[in-house]
């Protein structure tokens, strides 16, 4: 039996009971879909992920990437290639391709529900298969020739990478030194070194298209001087796709990592052996704006990956707790002869399991809620809705992305180690169970595509301050309106409303510090000391809101629940537990933010 069990019942509940996705199916751009079709797709992915995809999860970790430094080629385990081919040969790539070049138009909510199962079962498959989503960017932003390239990428299953990071320019992308020089034929020659490049090379695809940020000759400093170039591993014929000579982009090293070992993370050299020929995307020098189309997708993927892994960890921990016999019932602890019980009978194990359950279910809803905004945005654009409607949806989506990525990855990684693995005791530290691999694989989620600290800075300065508080205000109003509806969970809603007030106070204090920094620059440090805290608080509020909404639905359905009685009771229990145990921390966060001073910034380095 493979390691992964998909929680399709909860995915279905989120999509159709919580988020009412039937309201968008059969209409507008999703006119060819109905609930039965959607469930058929999800059930097929459940089968595929639990079997073919999950089958090489352990092999991928233990065998890893075989890199030949003499040739610069990377090879993957045969079992992993078989799993990858199962995904691609069953044509799941179509969910990311534009319809014009063979894609299938589906709602983002369905796309990310499918992705959860892929990412939970074997995340590197989804990562390597992202060539289609990269092709979508080339098709949307490219010139006529590059649209042909996008079709070749889709038709021929070419891989793709995103090349931003350099040895001296990590998160500070604008410090990149890679250089691009235009040639008489309109191509560009790019030179430089990139590092931490995911999927930099493998034997999965006959060709790889590298999306490379480089500073054009004469380009100014910072991010504004960067352009985005498409650099193939092999040159090719734009009409037929026939491969030509090797291009001058080579892997010089494959990183030895803590986890995600079958994903080739590479150092890449451009233009040292021979020219690295590239094509300026769209014939415009808008590199950062273009690359953010890829980054936004990647951040959604990272958050979904993290949350999918937490769900997998919880499923493993729950199954173990129901079968592992250890100790007697606590209420009989004075009776040394009392029967031994499974550990799910112990209070602290139950607490731990409920922490995992409430977060994994709440953050699944967080991902799919964000995707539902993307559904509405796609429909609004297709139907030519008013600009104000589109602007609001874009702002809400932008607001949610750092929450999905930053909050989702941070909470998932922490809980996998402190709760899911801990449920197994010493056995969790061994390779007999998949938890230790989950923990190692999930740590990267807090780091790549922008660390948690960077997500916090982006969230506050770009998604709140620069936005003028519009999106956070729209979301806050929706949550407040719900929290005032009373009903069966009136106590939980009152607690949510109080926490929302604490969050609004946190944001107001941080905005105040930012404004004061215009006169006293050092006041901005107080913001920087708390942006991650603010991001986490927002994530807790949204998660609590979505859990209580689920509990309301469950309470309504309970009288006629039939075989789903335990499922709905579990929904109510998750919401009550989360509100009682997690939301009170936001009041403490408010007190911390309000009392922040700059003393930590005034300590000398030698005092650390």
Which pLDDT tens digit goes with each residue over 361-397? 999 999 999 999 999 999 999 999 999 999 999 999 9
Task: Provide the pLDDT for residue 172.
Answer: 79
204 and 118 in a single domain? The answer is: no
Q: Which of 166, 410, 436, 449 is catalytic?
A: 449
Task: Provide the pLDDT for residue 223.
Answer: 85
Please state whether beta strands 243-246 and 226-232 pair in parallel, antiparallel, or not at all (unpaired): unpaired
User: Which residue, 116, 165, 138, 157, is CA-closest to 301?
Assistant: 116
483 and 517 in a single domain? The answer is: yes
**pLDDT band, very low/low/confident/very high, at 280 (cuts 50, 70, 90):** very high
598 and 463 in a single domain? The answer is: yes
12 and 121 in a single domain? The answer is: yes
What integer best gives the mean pLDDT of the chain?
96
129 and 172 in a single domain? The answer is: no
Residue 526 has pLDDT above 70, yes or no: yes
User: Which residue, 574, 521, 570, is CA-closest to 546?
Assistant: 574
Q: Is 317 within a domain? A: no
166 and 78 in a single domain? The answer is: no
Q: Is 579 within a domain? A: yes
Final residue belonging to a domain, choices 135, 168, 194: 135
pTM of the model: 0.96
478 and 561 in a single domain? The answer is: yes
264 and 168 in a single domain? The answer is: yes
513 and 471 in a single domain? The answer is: yes
Final residue belonging to a domain, choices 227, 262, 285: 285
Domain count within the chain: 3
Residue range 517-540: average pLDDT? 98
259 and 174 in a single domain? The answer is: yes
Q: Is 570 within a domain? A: yes
Residue 22 has pLDDT above 80, yes or no: yes
Q: Is 143 within a domain? A: no
3-state secondary structure (DSSP) of residue 336 = coil
3-state secondary structure (DSSP) of residue 213 = strand
Q: pLDDT tens digits for 472-486? A: 999 999 999 999 999
44 as an active site residue: the answer is no
Q: Is 28 within a domain? A: yes
Q: Is 384 within a domain? A: no
Instruction: Give residue 115's domain range.
Output: 8-135
Task: Provide the pLDDT for residue 337.
Answer: 84
CA 238: distance to chain centroid? 33
Task: Provide the pLDDT for residue 175.
Answer: 81
Task: Provide the pLDDT for residue 474.
Answer: 97
Q: pLDDT tens digits for 240-260? A: 999 999 999 999 999 999 999
Rounded distance between C-alpha atoms, residue 251 and residue 269, angstroms: 6
Q: pLDDT tens digits for 26-66? A: 999 999 999 999 999 999 999 999 999 999 999 999 999 99
Residue 174 has pLDDT above 90, yes or no: no
**pLDDT band, very low/low/confident/very high, at 1 (cuts 50, 70, 90):** low
* Residue located via tokens 């534009």: 98
Q: Is 414 within a domain? A: no
User: Which residue, 75, 83, 110, 66, is CA-closest to 3?
Assistant: 83
17 and 96 in a single domain? The answer is: yes
**pLDDT band, very low/low/confident/very high, at 352 (cuts 50, 70, 90):** very high
Q: pLDDT tens digits for 485-497? A: 999 999 999 999 9
Task: Provide the pLDDT for residue 220.
Answer: 87
Q: pLDDT tens digits for 413-465? A: 999 999 999 999 999 999 999 999 999 999 999 998 899 999 999 999 999 99
Q: pLDDT tens digits for 82-119? A: 999 999 999 999 999 999 999 999 999 999 999 999 99
Q: Is 304 within a domain? A: no
Q: Work out the angle between the directed axes of helices 144-155 and 131-141 (0-180°, nearest 10).
A: 160
Residue range 582-590: average pLDDT? 98
- The CATH number covering residue 279 comes to 2.40.110.20
Residue range 537-541: average pLDDT? 98
495 and 543 in a single domain? The answer is: yes
Tell me which of 222 and 18 has the higher pLDDT: 18
Residue range 192-210: average pLDDT? 97
Final residue belonging to a domain, choices 255, 285, 315: 285
């Amino acid at each position: 039996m493979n390691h992964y069990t998909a929680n399709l019942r909860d995915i279905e509940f989120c999509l159709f009971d919580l988020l009412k996705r039937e309201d968008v199916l059969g209409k507008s751009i999703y006119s060819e879909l109905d609930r039965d079709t959607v469930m058929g797709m999800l059930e097929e992915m459940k089968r595929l992920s639990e079997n073919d995809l999950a089958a090489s999860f352990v092999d991928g970790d233990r065998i890893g990437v075989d890199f030949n430094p003499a040739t610069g080629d990377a090879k993957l385990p045969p079992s992993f290639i078989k799993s990858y081919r199962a995904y691609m040969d069953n044509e799941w790539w179509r969910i990311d391709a534009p319809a014009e070049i063979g894609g299938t138009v589906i709602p983002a909510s369905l796309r990310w529900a499918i992705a959860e199962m892929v990412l939970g079962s074997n995340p590197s498959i989804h990562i390597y298969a992202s060539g289609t989503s990269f092709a979508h960017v080339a098709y949307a932003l490219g010139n006529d020739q590059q649209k042909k390239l996008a079709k070749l990428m889709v038709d021929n299953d070419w891989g793709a990478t995103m090349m931003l990071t350099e040895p001296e320019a990590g998160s500070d992308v604008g410090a990149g030194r890679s250089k691009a020089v235009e040639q008489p034929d309109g191509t560009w020659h790019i030179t430089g070194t990139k590092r931490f490049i995911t999927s930099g090379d493998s034997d999965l695809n006959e060709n790889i298209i590298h999306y490379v940020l480089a500073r054009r000759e004469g380009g100014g400093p910072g991010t504004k001087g960067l352009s985005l170039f498409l650099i193939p591993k092999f040159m090719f014929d734009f009409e037929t796709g026939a491969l030509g000579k090797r291009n001058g982009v080579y892997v010089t090293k494959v990183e030895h990592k803590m986890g995600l070992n079958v994903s080739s993370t590479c150092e890449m050299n451009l233009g040292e052996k021979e020219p690295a020929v590239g094509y300026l995307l769209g014939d415009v020098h808008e590199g950062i704006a273009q690359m953010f189309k890829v980054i936004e997708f990647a951040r959604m993927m990272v958050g979904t990956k993290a949350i999918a892994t937490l769900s997998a960890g919880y499923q493993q921990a729950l199954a173990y707790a129901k079968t592992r016999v250890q100790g007697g019932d606590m209420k009989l602890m004075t009776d040394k002869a009392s029967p031994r019980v499974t550990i799910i009978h112990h209070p602290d194990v139950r607490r731990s399991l409920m922490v995992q359950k409430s977060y994994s279910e709440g953050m699944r809803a967080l991902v799919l809620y964000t995707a539902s905004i993307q559904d509405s945005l796609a429909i609004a654009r297709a139907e030519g809705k008013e600009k104000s409607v589109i602007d609001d949806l874009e702002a809400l989506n932008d607001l949610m992305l750092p929450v999905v990525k930053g909050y989702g990855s941070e909470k998932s990684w922490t809980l996998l180690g402190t709760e899911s693995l801990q449920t197994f005791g010493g056995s969790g530290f061994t390779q007999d169970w998949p938890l230790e691999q989950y923990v190692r694989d999930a740590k990267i989620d807090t780091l790549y595509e922008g660390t948690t600290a960077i997500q916090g800075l982006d969230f506050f300065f770009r998604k709140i301050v620069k936005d003028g508080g519009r999106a956070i205000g729209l979301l806050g109003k929706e949550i407040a309106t719900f929290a005032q509806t009373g009903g069966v969970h009136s106590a939980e809603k009152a607690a949510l409303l109080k926490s929302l007030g604490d969050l609004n106070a946190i944001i107001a204090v941080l905005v105040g510090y930012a404004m004061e920094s215009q006169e006293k620059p050092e006041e901005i440090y107080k913001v920087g000391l708390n942006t991650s805290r603010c991001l986490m608080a927002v994530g807790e509020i949204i998660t609590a809101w979505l859990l209580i909404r689920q509990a309301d639905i469950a309470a309504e359905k309970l009288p006629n629940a039939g075989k789903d009685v335990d499922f709905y009771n579990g929904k109510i229990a998750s919401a009550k537990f989360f509100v009682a145990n997690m939301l009170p921390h936001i009041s403490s966060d408010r007190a911390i933010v309000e009392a922040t001073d700059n003393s930590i910034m005034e300590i000398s380095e030698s005092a650390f």
